[in-house]
Structure 1
Amino acid sequence: MPLFEIETESHIIITWAEEENDARAVVADAYPQDDLLRITKRPRDTWVISKGVLGLTTMKADPCVVARDCLSRSAGDKVNAIRLYRMETGSDLENARKAIESNMVMGW
């Protein structure tokens, strides 16, 4: 059974259907308020979503790890750790203070 990719104004739907009219019926049944923008019969019977296209391939640093590293580099000096955290993450003063202080409480 072919796999169809159907795009509406609000959704992207992936469904199996015997033919295009059956795929259209799936959308009409599930999202009757949506206008169909595009329907594509996929060349294979599997669907792959590229993490690179979604921007999910670069791992971002965990804020706690960054805060603990800043505390370590500043030898526990809170003001210096906040400054380092702001430089590392681009956070504003209030968010940097919260990150550093919450990690100090947890016993970095």
Structure 2
Amino acid sequence: MPLFEIETDAHIIITWADDESSAQEVVDDAYPEDEVLRVTKRPRDSWVISKGALGLTDRTLDPCMIARDCLSKSAGDKVNAIRLYRMETGCDVDQARRAIESNMVMGW
């Protein structure tokens, strides 16, 4: 069964389907409000997303790793971790708070 890439106005969907019309039906069922912009039959049966193309190859700039490091250094003290995160990244208080709190929820 071929792999299709379907781009809508709100999503990019990767799915297996027998043909293009079946791929369209997948979108119609899952996202009936979306307008299909493009349907492409992929040449292979797998899908790869390059982390380099997304700019995710430099581990020193990963906000989650920095936030977890700050939480570790502060022994879980949220206020101190926010201060450390701001010093490390140069971001404002709201951005630092969101980064620290989201990583606290994930169980740093």
Shorter-chain TM band? 0.5 to 0.7
Q: Distance in 2 between matches of 1:29 and 1:65?
A: 43
Aligned equivalent of 2:28 = 28
RMSD (Å), alpha carbons? 3.1
Shift of 1:55: 1.9
Aligned equivalent of 1:7 = 7
Shift of 1:62: 1.7
Q: Which residue identity is paired with 2:28?
A: A
Aligned equivalent of 1:19 = 19
Q: How do residues 80-91 of structure 1 correspond to structure 2 at under 5 angstroms?
A: 86=87, 88-91=88-91
Aligned equivalent of 2:58 = 58
Q: Distance in 1 between matches of 2:14 and 2:48?
A: 11
3-state SS of paired residue (2:52): helix
Structure 2 unaligned blocks of 5 or more: 74-82, 101-108
3-state SS of paired residue (2:22): helix
Q: Which has the larger radius of gyration?
A: 1
TM norm structure 2: 0.60
Aligned equivalent of 1:105 = none
Q: How do residues 65-104 of structure 1 correspond to structure 2 at under 5 angstroms?
A: 65=69, 68=73, 86=87, 88-91=88-91
Q: Distance in 1 between matches of 2:92 and 2:46?
A: 44
Aligned equivalent of 2:77 = none
Q: Distance in 1 between matches of 2:5 and 2:68?
A: 40
Q: Distance in 2 between matches of 1:26 and 1:45?
A: 17
Q: Which residue identity is paired with 1:33?
A: E
TM norm structure 1: 0.60
- Aligned length in residues: 83
3-state SS of paired residue (2:13): strand
Aligned equivalent of 1:42 = 42
Report sequence identity in percent. 58
Cα deviation 1:44-97 (Å, max 9, x = unaligned)? 0001111112221111362464695xxxxxxxxxxxxx8xx73x532458x6xx
